[in-house]
Chains A and B, each alone.
Chain A
Amino acid sequence: MTHPSEDRSRTDPSKTERAILDDAEMARVVRRMAGELLEREPDLASLMLLGIRTRGLPLAERIADEVERMEGVRLEIGALDITLYRDDLSTIGPQPVVRGSELQSPVEGRVVVLCDDVLFTGRTIRAALDEVGDYGRPKAVRLAVLVDRGHRELPIHADIVGKTIETDRDELVEVAFREIDDGEWVRVLQGRGGA
């Protein structure tokens, strides 16, 4: 599953870029996140990573890879598509494609770790919590994000954060994963306002 890449090749001269992480730094950050997770949730059997589509899923896989390298245990991974739980379906422009959620086993009694690339307003996580609730009653739900860029609109915070950055509200945080994109980085794009 890949995203159309025309957006990536289109360079807007009005936008300036600010690099946050390169690929090596990203790998280090994810390794640290995996370590934090093990520290917080030592009962590996109860853990279930749920990657929020699209770029929460590769993050979940990277974390699982690191855990496996450290502990020799492969965590269970599922995919969550929150499209059907969005609160802005009627106000957004282009209609999001529904790709579906895939959970390997029931969430009952598990510690579910929601994984996403960027934490911003918190609305995605609100939708994800609603959706997880419709699958059952987990023992606990945690949140792991690669980047926390602030500007929350809901009382939501992440348990595990890769990198906290300062942004303006109208900036864009761009996260690229090799599986999906043509490289691996985090950067901030400015000048979105007025676009």
Chain B
Amino acid sequence: MNETLRWTRKDLLGIAPLDAPEIELILDTAESFLEVAERPIKKVPTLRGKGVINLFFEPSTRTRSSFELAEKRLSADSMNVSASTSALVKGESLLDTATNLQAMSPDLIIIRHQHPGVPHMLAKRLEAGVINAGDGAHEHPTQALLDALTIRRNKGRIKGLRVAIIGDIEHSRVVRSNIQLLNKLGAEVTIAGPRSMMPAAAHALGATVSYDLDEALEGRDVVMMLRTQLERHKRSLVPSVREYFKLFGLTHARLARAADDVIVMHPGPMNRGTEIASDVADGPASVILEQVANGVAVRMAVLYLLSTAATGAAPTAAGQSDKEPHAGDGAHRGES
């Protein structure tokens, strides 16, 4: 662990701005938070008195409840604002909604929006730290971080691993954040999906592009399946679920091409029988439920790091406490 590195960012908008040591700091911190979930009292007072607003413009049970649980386990005061209850439906602008929330002096605002760039716009205007909980097909940094934590805990490393990400690449924020994170930590990524679900310049994402599931699975250490929402797209990208499953559905037989100790991941919610067969989802290679547990720890780590980010204010000598970095901390002295 790089113990000299300190988090200095006000916001977590994406994986793109982070460097490898920052990513590792989040993952290392998250490892420590995993233990909290095993305690009799699964709650620490770390963020007591901190206000956190979960501002979700898009329905999301999974990510929102994961953030909410992380906030509660850190003793933060959290509040949920969702699109259906927000003033946006009454014609208030997004910026007005956000500045009104800012007026309540929250410390952090978690934002999920269906359009790319919304957290970035708000981060520039708000004093509160902003965490991107998914902006359109752009980024979903905490998902990529929890995926990385899951890979690291299963494989002991990320560097040098061969990872395949399969599905609707064009509309996936998960894939964009994951490719960047995995590249930064030295993994080798292949993306695969139907040609009609590939973005215009797929090669620009920084991964090897394949249009063949079997080729993409060959020898992989990690296989990530993406949620495929065939019904979401007015413009049909694939004729039917049946055809999709035949082309790109992950079955036990096809998974055999991957490495013997392959792990299978899915950001959820799964469409069994569309992108993944039940025997794979529930099989020994699946770490899908671990991802969920790791998600809470990663979000706790991000909440902790952002809300205690170094603001440049040095402690006063009089404020010296026993475990200041730290008088009582013996030889590790005088970092004021």
Q: Are A100 and B41 in contact, CB atoms less than 8 angstroms apart?
A: no
Q: Are B334 and A172 in contact, CB atoms less than 8 angstroms apart?
A: yes
What are the residues of chain B within 8 A of A180 when measuring CB–CB? 331
What are the residues of chain B within 8 A of A173 when measuring CB–CB? 327-328, 330
What are the residues of chain A within 8 A of B34 when measuring CB–CB? 100
What are the residues of chain B within 8 A of A177 when measuring CB–CB? 330
Q: Are A3 and B319 in contact, CB atoms less than 8 angstroms apart?
A: no
Asked if B77 is at the interface (CB within 8 A of a chain A CB), the reply is: no
What are the residues of chain A within 8 A of B322 when measuring CB–CB? 116, 118-125
A76-134, CB < 8 A from B = 81-86, 88-102, 106, 116-125, 127, 130-131, 134
Q: Are B332 and A88 in contact, CB atoms less than 8 angstroms apart?
A: no
Q: Which of A96, A101, A122, A136 touches B325 (beta carbons < 8 Å)?
A: A96
Q: Which residue of A lies closest to B1 (CB)?
A: A97
User: What is the CB-to-nearest-CB distance from A192 to chain B, in angstroms, rounded to a whole number?
Assistant: 7
Q: Are B32 and A99 in contact, CB atoms less than 8 angstroms apart?
A: yes
User: What is the CB-to-nearest-CB distance from B302 to chain A, in angstroms, rounded to a whole number?
Assistant: 12
User: What is the CB-to-nearest-CB distance from A13 to chain B, in angstroms, rounded to a whole number?
Assistant: 14
Q: A165 CA to B67 CA in the complex, in Å?
A: 47
Q: Which residue of B lies closest to A56 (CB)?
A: B328
Q: Are B45 and A94 in contact, CB atoms less than 8 angstroms apart?
A: no
Q: Which residue of A lies closest to B35 (CB)?
A: A100
Q: A1 CA to B9 CA in the complex, in Å?
A: 26
What are the residues of chain A within 8 A of B328 when measuring CB–CB? 116-120, 124, 173
Known: A94-B6, A95-B305. A84 touches B44 (CB 8 A): yes
Asked if A159 is at the interface (CB within 8 A of a chain B CB), the reply is: no
Asked if B215 is at the interface (CB within 8 A of a chain A CB), the reply is: no
Q: Are A7 and B330 in contact, CB atoms less than 8 angstroms apart?
A: no
Known: A100-B31, A102-B35, A174-B331. A95 touches B40 (CB 8 A): no
Asked if A40 is at the interface (CB within 8 A of a chain B CB), the reply is: no
Asked if A4 is at the interface (CB within 8 A of a chain B CB), the reply is: yes
Q: Are B32 and A81 in contact, CB atoms less than 8 angstroms apart?
A: yes
Which of B44, B323, B332 has the largest number of chain A CB atoms within 10 A? B323
Proximity bits, B223-248, A CB within 8 Å = 1, else 0: 00000000000000000000000000
Q: A174 CA to B33 CA in the complex, in Å?
A: 29
What are the residues of chain B within 8 A of A46 when measuring CB–CB? none
Known: A89-B46, A95-B310, A98-B33. A181 touches B323 (CB 8 A): no
User: What is the CB-to-nearest-CB distance from A162 to chain B, in angstroms, rounded to a whole number?
Assistant: 13
Known: A81-B32, A97-B3, A101-B35. A120 touches B321 (CB 8 A): yes
Q: A89 CA to B321 CA in the complex, in Å?
A: 11
What are the residues of chain A within 8 A of B333 when measuring CB–CB? 7, 172, 174, 189
5 intermolecular pairs with C-beta atoms under 8 Å apart: A7-B333, A81-B32, A86-B46, A135-B39, A175-B330
